[in-house]
Amino acid sequence: MISQRKRFKAGELVFREGQSGDCAYIIESGRIEIFIGDDDNPVTLTHLGEGEIFGEMSVIDGSPRSASARAIEPCELVLVSSEAISERIDSADPIVRLLISMLLTRMRQANQSATGGPKIVQPEPAGILTDEGGEGQTQKVLEKMRIESELKQALVSNEFMLHFQPIMDLQKGRISGFEALIRWNSPTRGLVRPDIFMGIAEETSLIVPIGKWVIEKSAEALKVLNHRYRQSHPEDEDLFMSINISGRQFHDDEFFSHLEGAIAQAGVKTSQIKLEVTERIFMEGPSALQAINRCRDMGFHVALDDFGTGYSSLSYLAQFQVDSLKVDQSFIRSMLQDEKTFVITNAIIAMANGLGIPVIAEGIEIEKEHRVLVGMECRFAQGYLFSRPIPLGDALNYVSISNDFAETVNAS
Ligand code: C2E
Ligand code: CMP
Ligand code: CA
Ligand code: CA
């Protein structure tokens, strides 16, 4: 913070209520009276001493000074620039900003009622949130807080369930595993999309218990799915389960011990579990590398999800050892219409194959996309063409009847 000092004599006014505020003050020495109302009839709100800060409210949200400040003995004050405060406010979490904005409004209302009602009609505060879209923005933040609180309850009330989407092995022409995808059936909201609520869970520590639940349930499901599959396909390899892991889960001290325990408890092998992480994890630096290596050392497979979106950098593939790469659905969706996307998709698959990393293509909806991907020597595929994500009961039927791949595709 840039600081500048100023001295005030006893009785001298620092600022008056209603003025615009361009800085806050830290009291280095002396005492300050904060009061409201005119000089003939002042109402003292508080006395402040060494080490305390005042004049911050108008700097935080651009409103006029909510009270006057006067030195009641000789004072030395350090000026805190408005930029030093606003930069921090602007970069704060929207929920924190909303809470501060509400507190400031309440504080001003309380001050006004202390003097028997509004003396100065203050303009609407410029607002901490209002400058970014007003009421709509506030409602968005409140909605996020509501969902966060409901998510906690959802875990206790068993409102989550998992759906499983088959992943096909294009080379062997059969199912090879599933991806576990969480669903939230809220009693008040109905089905909520995971990209909405998991995004909120990821911003908070809620991702940790929800993530644990996903690991336990998907490992248990894999046990029964694999058992059912092996009854009709005794010669085939075991099925695998892909589980989405958010970077924040790795920060939990118990993550690895819980993962190991849950897999052992379910009675499946670590090699049957693919942990899907997105490229975002690489932004976390060396700790991400350590986490990925530790998973692989424990025998888990690690897949790089949503490859080609956002932070893709080919250098990651050289630095980080991954067992498979999932080409994002956006490529599959437009590769047949857009020549450049076609070339890029082909190049990603060729490059991964060259590095010995099998590719899973996501979001295959039509037969032509499937054929093209086979031509590109893409090893695995997942999409509505084969099956949407389905509940465990349906997934059990799916593995019993899915003999060969052509049948599955034709049936859809
Ligand atoms: P994702 O990991 O990329 O999952 C694939 C998404 O694509 C799923 O959406 C799936 O239903 C959808 N999808 C699959 N095939 C097709 C297709 O052919 N066409 C179209 N249009 N979509 C297809 P879903 O289930 O809504 O999940 C969205 C995202 O939510 C996931 O994206 C993942 O990022 C997150 N998510 C879901 N479950 C979990 C979880 O258990 N843990 C974590 N951390 N994230 C999860
Ligand atoms: P600001 O509104 O910028 O200018 C007046 C300052 O007085 C305000 O910031 C706070 O720092 C302080 N202030 C306002 N109301 C109170 C109160 N009720 N109690 C203590 N300090 C207050
Ligand atoms: Ca995924
Ligand atoms: Ca994906």
H helix or E strand, kind and range, residue 14: strand 13-15
Which protein residue has the closest C-alpha to ligand 1 atom 32?
Answer: 195
Which of 161, 163, 181, 245 most suits a substitution to test ligand 1, by most atoms within 8 Å of the C-beta? 181
Q: What is the pTM of this model?
A: 0.81
The Cα–Cα gap between 34 and 388 comes to 64
* Sequence-separated (6 or more) residues with CB below 8 Å from residue 204: 148
Which protein residue has the closest C-alpha to ligand 2 atom 17?
Answer: 45
Other C-beta atoms closer than 10 Å to the C-beta of 120 total 14
Residue type, 86: S
Which ligand has its closest atom nearest to the C-alpha of 327?
Answer: 4
- As given in the structure block, the two tokens for residue 391 are 């509940």
Residue 88 has a pLDDT of: 86
Closest CA to 284 of 325, 247, 321: 247
Question: Concatenated DSSP letters for 123-174?
Answer: PPP--SSGGGTHHHHHHHHHHHHHHHHHHHHHHHTT-EEEEEEEEEETTTTE
Q: How confident is the model at residue 90 (pLDDT cuts 50, 70, 90)?
A: confident
Q: How confident is the model at residue 288 (pLDDT cuts 50, 70, 90)?
A: confident
* 128-132, 306-310, 399-403: range with highest mean pLDDT: 306-310
pLDDT tens for 163-205 read 999 999 999 999 999 999 999 999 999 999 999 999 999 988 8
Query: Is 360 close to ligand 2, i.e. is its CB under 6 Å away?
Result: no
Q: How confident is the model at residue 127 (pLDDT cuts 50, 70, 90)?
A: low
Query: Is 23 close to ligand 2, i.e. is its CB under 6 Å away?
Result: no
Which of 244, 332, 366, 368 most suits a substitution to test ligand 1, by most atoms within 8 Å of the C-beta? 244
Query: Is 45 close to ligand 2, i.e. is its CB under 6 Å away?
Result: yes
CB distance 219 to 273 below 8 Å: yes
Using a pLDDT cut of 70, give the percent of the chain over it. 91
Sheet bearing 23-29, strands edge to edge: 3-8, 75-81, 23-29, 53-54
* Sequence-separated (6 or more) residues with CB below 8 Å from residue 188: 150
Sheet bearing 68-71, strands edge to edge: 13-15, 68-71, 32-36, 43-48
CA angle 179, 181, 183 (to 5 degrees): 160
Residue 131 has a pLDDT of: 53
Residue with tokens 């911050």: 56
Q: What number does the ligand 1 atom closest to the CA of 202 have?
A: 44
For range 237-249, the mean pLDDT: 96
CA angle 66, 42, 45 (to 5 degrees): 55
Residue 411 has a pLDDT of: 44
The Cα–Cα gap between 54 and 17 comes to 13
The Cα–Cα gap between 68 and 14 comes to 8
- How far is the centre of ligand 4, averaged over its atoms, from the C-alpha of 327 (Å)? 7
Residue 406 has a pLDDT of: 47
Q: Among 45-59, 264-278, 304-318, name the one with the lowest average pLDDT.
A: 304-318
The Cα–Cα gap between 184 and 66 comes to 45
* Strands 75-81 vs 174-186: parallel, antiparallel or unpaired: unpaired
What does the H/E/C string look like for 313-361? Answer: CHHHHHHCCCCEEEECHHHHHHCCCCHHHHHHHHHHHHHHHHCCCCEEE
Which protein residue has the closest C-alpha to ligand 1 atom 34?
Answer: 195
For the chain, list the domains and their CATH numbers. 5-114 (2.60.120.10), 143-410 (3.20.20.450)
- How far is the centre of ligand 1, averaged over its atoms, from the C-alpha of 175 (Å)? 18
The Cα–Cα gap between 129 and 243 comes to 37
For range 291-295, the mean pLDDT: 93
Residue with tokens 């669903």: 183
